Structure 1
């Protein structure tokens, strides 16, 4: 599964970058007013075909196919072919390809590929997370390095937050912590920064869907991190109605979580 996810993420990333590097591309609004581009649609078509060919008996849920949002199963694959479309449109580079496998509510396999950043993170067959070092070859795995969350210093935390969805409520919550650095990142890269020990805490006080978070959540799980609900600090699970998440906190164990 990890091999298929990796190859499809790289192939989708190549297609996305073709459009990203073009002089111009069309941006349209979906029914919920969120933006969509040809890159979202091309990457979705490519990944969906590959997933359905490799895993015909596993439910596929993908952001760009609304008819999949009403389906459910204990185990499923969930895809965001281009997470961070706003970052893509602004040509800021913080966008990712997300593919994850959820088993009984828990994301156990995932790949997050940021083609414009040249960074790729995924969980291996053993459930452990690695970062592959480019340049990337779709058919041959390159050099990988295991990644692990760091041991946090609660007197000097590094916090990562959304670039496009930052609000006063998020800032107010972050102010409850003693921080030494604040960094902004788009898409599911925020989970990966915590997983790689480059940040300690990522709170999200805003609407997200499971396809936005499942792959990053799997990457963080495989690096020793955790994701909990914001309201009661219970584990964030998957397969919820319409695949919508509550507010959540992703963190390295050892962070003394503050209440709302």
Structure 2
């Protein structure tokens, strides 16, 4: 994979999809349907998926593509592929809370090598450069011109007082029980893959996820966090979280800055 070609394409498609999402988000009303797994889906999910999928297939026709909104792609097998969640945080979108993202990632040999996370309502964009360094872009997000980018790096975490980030929509007692094992200085709540990005920028130290996620939920944020010096491991044995698993389903996991002293589950 030519990363110098890949990154501008993923970035441009994320911005195009984000513009369509915001068009629907700012409309007077939009329909909400329920998928077979009881998760919600909107016209924004479907429109963004159409934009991203068409763009990726056009430029990378020979690379396996997995996307949340195309059930047929969930039966594919492989450890090297493009993976898309066109609108991560649909519940945040529906409730007009703004914490939703466009996620596009490239996984190679089971590892998310490159990724883009775009939060159009919050006007925040994170991506890995061709060399793997994670950056945050600011500016007007022009389609074909990358604006000002700032390299991002995880915090030099202090285990005497950690900043914890957890899900807005999926917080439960099991999560709180695990968080209580740490010395907590402050708590943040965030939706979608923004939680990975908050660790990548040093705004948080650790994000434990004790609940169901799929690889398209995490791959782009995982790539950004790796590019900022962070890591993501399985909750049960602290081994690396890998991709290309059966049905693209994740086990529970922990995303964190490397100075954090992880506690046992």
Are residue 204 (structure 1) and residue 209 (structure 2) matched?
yes
Unaligned runs of 5+ in 2: 1-5
The structural deviation recorded for 1:253 is 0.3
Task: Tell me how far apart the structure 2 counterparts of residues 134 and 217 of structure 1 sit (CA, whole Å).
Answer: 24
Task: Check conservation: 1:228, 1:236, Cα contact below 8 A.
Answer: yes
* 2:8 alignment partner, SS class: helix
Are residue 235 (structure 1) and residue 240 (structure 2) matched?
yes
Task: Tell me how far apart the structure 2 counterparts of residues 107 and 135 of structure 1 sit (CA, whole Å).
Answer: 27
Q: What are the residue-to-residue correspondences of 1:1-260 with 2, within 5 Å?
A: 1-260=6-265
* 1:82 alignment partner, SS class: strand
Task: Tell me how far apart the structure 2 counterparts of residues 54 and 109 of structure 1 sit (CA, whole Å).
Answer: 16
Please identify, of 131-140 and 48-57, the stretch whose mean Cα deviation from structure 2 is larger: 131-140
Q: Deviations over 1:125-166 (max 9, x none)?
A: 001100000221011110000000011000010000000000
Unaligned runs of 5+ in 1: none
The structural deviation recorded for 1:75 is 1.0
Q: Deviations over 1:47-89 (max 9, x none)?
A: 0000000100000000000000000223100000000000000
Task: Check conservation: 1:119, 1:134, Cα contact below 8 A.
Answer: no
* 2:144 alignment partner, SS class: coil
Task: Check conservation: 2:110, 2:244, Cα contact below 8 A.
Answer: yes
The structural deviation recorded for 1:178 is 0.2
Number of residue pairs matched?
Answer: 260
CA RMSD of aligned residues (A): 0.4
Task: Check conservation: 1:159, 1:183, Cα contact below 8 A.
Answer: yes
Task: Tell me how far apart the structure 2 counterparts of residues 170 and 178 of structure 1 sit (CA, whole Å).
Answer: 15
Task: Check conservation: 1:130, 1:145, Cα contact below 8 A.
Answer: yes
Task: Tell me how far apart the structure 1 counterparts of residues 195 and 79 of structure 2 sit (CA, whole Å).
Answer: 27
